[in-house]
Amino acid sequence: MKRPLTTSFSAPPPAQAASPEPATTAATTAASWRDVAPFAAALIATLEGIETGPKAGPAMRAHRSAMRRQGAAAAALGGSEALEAVLHQVAEADAARAAQRLALIREAWTGLPGAGA
């Protein structure tokens, strides 16, 4: 016995087609802590790798590049507000290491749009 077709490829009824939901872009809405939490988690993991590994050479360049990519993705999500939210979450994760970690992140984020000075 064949299962009935459950997917309809026909056009939606006119009532649904006439009232589309308003489109919001990531740049116009403020990023919440849930939106930026994956970026903060990735940065924290990278920073832990820096703290336990070599401080110079190819490994450090790779870590800096990874931090820069996370910053660029966060900036694309919500601009400077998202970057500040990420920095806040990283600082809250370990208050004892916050100053050193934020300095590394800001160094990696130099020149990113929305990163500020």
Is the pTM higher than 0.75? The answer reads no
Number of structural domains in the chain: 1
pLDDT computed for residue 26 by the predictor: 43
Residue 10 domain-assigned (yes or no): no
What is the span of the domain harbouring residue 97?
Answer: 30-108
Residue 70 domain-assigned (yes or no): yes
In this prediction, residues 89-100 reach a mean pLDDT of 93
Residue 7 domain-assigned (yes or no): no
Report whether 36 contacts 89 (CB < 8 A). yes
Type of residue at 87 = L
Residue 60 domain-assigned (yes or no): yes
Residue 5 domain-assigned (yes or no): no
Residue 15 domain-assigned (yes or no): no
In this prediction, residues 13-25 reach a mean pLDDT of 51
Residue 90 domain-assigned (yes or no): yes
Q: How far apart are CA 85 and CA 79, in angstroms?
A: 10
- With cut-offs at 50, 70 and 90, classify the pLDDT of residue 34: confident
- In eight-state DSSP terms, residue 109 is T
Residue 115 domain-assigned (yes or no): no
71-90 pLDDT tens trace: 999 999 888 899 999 999 99
